[in-house]
Amino acid sequence: MTDGPEPWEPGSGPAGAEKRFAPATIRNRDAIVAVLRDALPSCGVVLEVASGSGEHAVHFAVSFPALNWQPTDSDPTAIASIATWREEAALPNLNPPIMLDAAADWPVTRADAILCINMVHIAPWDATLGLFKGAGQALPPGGLLYLYGPYIRTGVETAPSNCAFDASLKARDPRWGLRSVEHVVAAADA
């Protein structure tokens, strides 16, 4: 395992050391909102697993004010960043972040929908299996589990940039890397 660049840029402002920025968030957040508009329930609790910086949680809470957003992460520095973003946004439908390790027992027993953005490829496979187990326990029948991130699909050429990204992830931790959509779907079905 080698150290590689973190997906974070340092923050600025009053809590600059705690507040993180993920450059990919600005690139993907509106496209995700467009998909979620037709998929999320009209009200209820949305659990975000592996919230990272907290930027998505704030953007989604603004975009879906009738939903109650619960950000989580397993990294204490991510929890601090999420808390900083939440405090600055001061949104009534954005809960304080909680610690949640997708591969372990969950402190959350119920959610109306679950989002997991950019975790599956930057975590051991056990985290994905834990995500499916936890979602199966927390979601109502027909509840939404929405995954977003880069995947490999059989019969579809993988972009060279995604091949390079996969190699860099595996260099950082051999348990990481882009997952096959078919493998992810089979694990979810199980």
% the chain with pLDDT above 70: 91
- What per-residue confidence (pLDDT) applies to 18? 87
- Give me the residue spans of the domains in the chain: 9-189
Is residue 10 predicted with pLDDT exceeding 80?
no
Q: Tell me the pLDDT band of 7, cut-offs 50, 70 and 90.
A: low
- Looking at residue 4, its pLDDT comes to 35
Give the CATH fold of the 9-189 domain.
Rossmann fold (3.40.50)
Residue 6, judged by CB atoms within 10 A of its CB (0-12, 13-18, 19+), counts as exposed
**Residues 6+ away with beta carbon under 8 Å from 166:** 121, 152, 158, 177, 178
Q: Does the pLDDT at position 102 exceed 90?
A: yes
| For range 96-114, the mean pLDDT | 97
Identify whether the C-beta of residue 52 lies closer than 8 Å to the C-beta of residue 76: no
Answer yes or no: is pLDDT of 15 > 70.
no
% residues pLDDT > 90 (the chain): 88
Higher pLDDT, 6 or 171: 171
pTM of the model: 0.90
Q: Check whether 9 has a pLDDT greater than 90.
A: no
Q: What is the pLDDT of residues 44-60, one digit of tens each?
A: 999 999 999 999 999 99
Residue 6 has pLDDT above 90, yes or no: no
pLDDT of residue 16 exceeding 60: no
Per residue in 64-93, pLDDT tens?
999 999 999 999 999 999 999 999 999 999
pLDDT digit string, tens, across residues 110-125: 999 999 999 999 999 9
Whether 160 has a pLDDT exceeding 90, the answer reads yes
3: pLDDT strictly greater than 50: no
H/E segment holding residue 138:
helix 125-138
